[in-house]
């Protein structure tokens, strides 16, 4: 069974709300004015009025907490487990061009797998409830020369490298028309050697 991170906080909140409603009912039965009850339990007068109307119509039972509030989830626990398994298998296995999961891709996966249409914010809330978080991949240059990087790191850490030499270092950046050369400043060379 899938356990949701916010589930315990949600249950505690429901219990606290029920406790406040019952306390308000006791105060109203004792003859305390609705405005004063609202102040004492930390809510609005209209809420106290609604609770009192419920109590008069259905008794103490009407003040019990609901099992849940808000909109029901669109995916069942079994579907959530299947979604997690699919996410762990990877985006390539799901038929996407790269291994990177994005909200639009996950939304498409949910729609294809479970015939449920969700908005991207809803997908994000679902993922957070399932304990997933955003992870941004680190970028690396496409034309990365590992040997040159090791050499540069060894040279830049030694004190023999002059300031003029560091100022003249260049980086290769892929641009729209091929590789572009850009000079590093001394400050950026020093900070990237860490």
Domain assignment present for 168? yes
Count of beta carbons in the 10 Å neighbourhood of residue 44: 12
pLDDT of residue 27: 93
| Same domain flag for 125 and 151 | no
172, containing H or E segment: strand 170-175
* Per-residue DSSP letter, 138: P
Of the candidates 63, 91, 108, which is a domain's last residue? 63
Domain assignment present for 22? yes
Domain assignment present for 91? yes
How many domains is the chain built from? 3
Domain assignment present for 114? yes
- What is the rounded end-to-end Cα distance, in angstroms, of the chain? 45
pLDDT values of the chain reduced to their tens digit, one per residue, 194 residues = 444 444 556 678 888 888 998 999 999 999 999 999 999 999 999 999 998 998 888 888 888 876 666 777 889 889 999 999 999 999 999 999 988 899 999 999 999 999 999 999 999 999 988 888 877 777 767 777 888 888 888 887 654 545 444 444 444 444 444 433 343 444 444 444 44
Q: What is the pTM of this model?
A: 0.45
d(CA 102, CA 158): 42
Are 3 and 12 in contact, with CB atoms under 8 Å apart?
A: no
Domain assignment present for 68? no
Domain assignment present for 136? no
Integer Rg of the chain from CA:
30
d(CA 54, CA 62): 6
pLDDT of residue 173: 43
d(CA 78, CA 99): 24
Domain assignment present for 75? no
Are 88 and 80 in contact, with CB atoms under 8 Å apart?
A: no
Are 35 and 45 in contact, with CB atoms under 8 Å apart?
A: yes
d(CA 41, CA 174): 63
Q: Residue 96 is part of which domain span?
A: 80-129
CA distances from 156 to 46, 117, 144, 181, 192 (A): 70, 54, 18, 20, 10
Are 161 and 152 in contact, with CB atoms under 8 Å apart?
A: no
| Same domain flag for 17 and 52 | yes
* Per-residue DSSP letter, 133: -
């Amino acid at each position: 069974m899938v356990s949701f991170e916010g589930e315990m906080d949600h249950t505690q909140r429901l219990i606290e709300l029920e406790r406040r409603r019952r306390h308000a009912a006791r105060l109203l039965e004792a003859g305390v004015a609705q405005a004063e009850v609202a102040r004492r339990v930390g809510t609005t007068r209209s809420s106290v009025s609604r609770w009192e109307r419920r109590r008069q119509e259905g008794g103490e039972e009407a003040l019990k907490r609901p099992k849940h509030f808000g909109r029901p989830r669109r995916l069942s626990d079994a579907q959530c487990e299947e979604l997690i398994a699919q996410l762990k298998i990877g985006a390539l296995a799901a038929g996407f061009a790269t291994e990177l999961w994005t909200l639009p891709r996950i939304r498409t996966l949910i729609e294809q797998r479970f015939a449920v249409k969700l908005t991207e914010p809803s997908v994000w809330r679902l993922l957070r409830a399932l304990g997933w978080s955003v992870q941004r991949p680190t970028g690396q240059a496409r034309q990365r020369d590992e040997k040159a990087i090791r050499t540069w790191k060894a040279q830049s850490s030694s004190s023999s490298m002059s300031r003029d030499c560091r100022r003249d270092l260049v980086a290769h950046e892929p641009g729209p028309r091929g590789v572009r050369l850009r000079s590093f400043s001394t400050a950026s060379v020093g900070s990237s050697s860490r």
